[in-house]
């Protein structure tokens, strides 16, 4: 098989480029083969002029093949595509070769499979083919065979040809679109796979490696129990954060590969916020951060419980991550303002510039280290933006470098009520 690919000139370039070379070489070689088969019949039968035209056609196919083998794909294509259909018209004009228009349409179908042509010249290929096909039909229209057809057949001679042509064109177009969608899906899946492998190999291996090392040191009785307990406490925080990162990764990969449909129900919003704060309590205590909560009521919101947890958890995680390392303060304010229920999460941390603020909940966001060198991989806020859009939740943010960040999560009237 590799020898065949080498013979057809398909061993270099990207996959699409190799396929283009393969298809063009295959058409050219097939054209040479067909012409030679015709010669076996036409020369013994005495059709010498017809045989000469066959030899010329085979010569054009050979030149196109050689250009293609020399990695001159564009030159090979245009030489082949412009000359061979014109020769088909010559077959009709001189010899009334009625099947010529079938070869024209077949050639257009093959050309439409070429990725280079699909991107730039697909419609031009079909328009050129239609023009030549109509010329062939016109030349055949004045033959004796046509004179023997009935009135209805002669009347529908051109409309039937045009209808059949457009039917083939539409089928080819549909096939190309479906193949393009498949390629896009495969490309997306590869991108997700690479992102997952990158995260697993870097961000998730570190805390697991530290935990493994600590356990081995304890088994060897190198550490006393006080030192072991101190390091174990820190590792516990790391594992908790890593678990949150892993949840983000799993949710993100699921949204990218198959999508997530929200399961809407009434969710205890106050409880979701309180559980989130409790989740990060160890890190909050370590950084000696003051947490201020102010709820003007106990609210239920119409949302998906898991997606809402992801939203609140990632916003809270970012606040804890970037809050000031000394005299840090994070506020969780829940109140009804202007017929909207708004959760405001604010911190007095490092803040961010206008460029990063503009990309905050979009896919282009990148993670940076926190005030205690906390790591992340930039998926959390991406999920926040995607889930908020699905749930109909509004997001807004304000930030200033050195002064902190404030994020507001809003629920429209009718999507919340007092418990």
Residue at 254 is within a domain: no
Q: Do residues 267 and 174 share a domain?
A: no
- 342 close to 410: Cβ distance less than 8 angstroms: yes
Looking at residue 416, what is its pLDDT? 92
| 224 falls within a domain | no
Q: Which one of 100-109, 130-139, 256-265, 342-351 scores highest in mean pLDDT?
A: 342-351
Judge whether 173 lies within some domain.
Answer: yes
Give domain status of residue 126, yes or no.
yes
Question: Which of the two residues, 112 and 51, has the higher pLDDT score?
Answer: 51
Q: How confident is the model at residue 1 (pLDDT cuts 50, 70, 90)?
A: very low
Helix axes 100-112, 15-45, angle to 10 degrees: 170
227 in a domain, yes or no? no
For residue 163, how far is the Cα from the chain centroid?
Answer: 35
Q: Is the dihedral of CA 250, 251, 253, 257 positive or negative?
A: positive
pLDDT of residue 25: 86
Same domain flag for 287 and 156: no
Distance CA 172, CA 113 (A): 8
Mean of pLDDT over the chain? 78
CATH code at position 294: 3.30.565.10
Q: Is there a domain that residue 209 lies in? A: no
Q: Which of 189, 214, 236 is the last residue of a domain?
A: 189
- Secondary structure of residue 32 in the 3-state scheme: helix
CA angle 413, 418, 419 (to 5 degrees): 140
Residue 28 to residue 20: CA distance in whole angstroms: 12
The predicted model gives 8-15 an average pLDDT of 56
Name the domain boundary from 166, 189, 212. Answer: 189
Confidence of residue 223 (pLDDT cuts 50, 70, 90): low
- Percent of the chain exceeding pLDDT 90 equals 15
301-325 per-position pLDDT tens digit? 999 888 898 889 889 888 888 887 7
**Cα 403 from Cα 196, distance rounded (Å):** 34
Residue 273, domain extent: 262-418
Query: Considering the domain boundaries, does residue 170 fall inside one?
Result: yes
Do both 266 and 137 map to the same domain? no
- Contacts with 206 (C-beta within 8 Å, 6 or more apart), sequence order: 375
Q: Tell me, what's the pLDDT at 88?
A: 81
Could you say which of 161, 189, 217 is where a domain stops? 189
Instruction: Please count the structural domains in the chain.
Output: 2
Residue 381 counted as domain residue: yes
Say how far apart CA 330 and CA 345 lie, in whole Å: 7
What torsion do the CA atoms of 247, 392, 317, 196 make, to the nearest 10 degrees? Answer: 30
Does the pLDDT at position 269 exceed 70? yes
Give helix then strand counts, H and E, for the chain.
17, 8
Strands 264-268 and 329-337, sheet pairing: unpaired
- Residues 35 and 174 occupy one common structural domain: yes
Residue matched to tokens 């209805």: 152
Q: Is the same domain home to 270 and 385?
A: yes
The answer to whether 408 and 315 are in contact (CB under 8 A) is: no
Confidence of residue 207 (pLDDT cuts 50, 70, 90): low
């Amino acid at each position: 098989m590799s020898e065949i690919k080498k013979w057809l000139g398909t061993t270099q370039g990207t996959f699409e480029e190799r396929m283009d070379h393969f298809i063009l070489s295959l058409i050219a070689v097939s054209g040479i083969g067909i012409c030679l088969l015709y010669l076996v019949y036409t020369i013994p039968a005495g059709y010498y002029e017809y045989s000469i035209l066959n030899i010329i056609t085979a010569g054009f196919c050979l030149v196109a093949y050689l250009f293609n083998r020399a990695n001159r794909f564009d030159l090979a294509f245009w030489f082949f595509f412009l000359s061979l259909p014109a020769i088909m018209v010559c077959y009709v004009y001189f010899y009334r070769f009625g099947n010529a228009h079938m070869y024209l349409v077949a050639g257009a179908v093959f050309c439409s499979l070429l990725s280079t042509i699909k991107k730039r010249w697909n419609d031009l290929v079909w328009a050129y083919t239609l023009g030549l096909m109509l010329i062939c039909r016109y030349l055949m229209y004045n033959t004796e065979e046509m004179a023997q057809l009935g009135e209805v057949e002669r009347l529908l001679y051109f409309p039937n040809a045009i209808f059949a042509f457009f039917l083939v064109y539409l089928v080819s177009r549909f096939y190309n679109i479906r193949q393009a969608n498949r390629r896009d899906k495969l490309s997306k899946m590869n991108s997700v796979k690479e992102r997952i492998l990158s995260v697993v190999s870097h961000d998730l291996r570190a805390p697991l490696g530290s935990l493994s090392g600590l356990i081995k040191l304890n088994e060897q009785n190198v550490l006393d129990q006080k030192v072991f307990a101190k390091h174990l406490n820190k590792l516990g925080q790391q594992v908790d954060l890593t678990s949150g990162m892993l949840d983000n990764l799993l949710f993100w990969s699921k949204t990218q590969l198959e999508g997530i449909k929200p399961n809407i129900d009434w969710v205890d919003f106050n409880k979701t916020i309180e559980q989130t704060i409790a989740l990060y309590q160890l890190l909050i205590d370590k950084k000696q951060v003051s947490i201020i909560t102010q709820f003007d009521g106990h609210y239920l919101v119409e949302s998906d419980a898991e997606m809402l947890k992801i939203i609140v958890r990632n916003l809270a995680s970012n606040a804890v991550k970037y809050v000031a390392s000394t005299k840090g303060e994070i506020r969780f304010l829940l109140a009804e303002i202007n017929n909207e229920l708004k959760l405001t999460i604010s911190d007095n941390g490092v803040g961010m510039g206008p460029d990063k603020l503009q990309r905050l909940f979009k896919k282009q966001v990148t993670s940076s280290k926190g005030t205690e060198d906390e790591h992340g991989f930039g998926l959390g806020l991406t999920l926040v933006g995607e889930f908020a859009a699905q749930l109909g939740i509004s997001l807004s943010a304000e930030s200033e470098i050195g002064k902190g960040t404030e994020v507001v999560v809003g629920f429209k009237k009718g999507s919340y009520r007092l418990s």
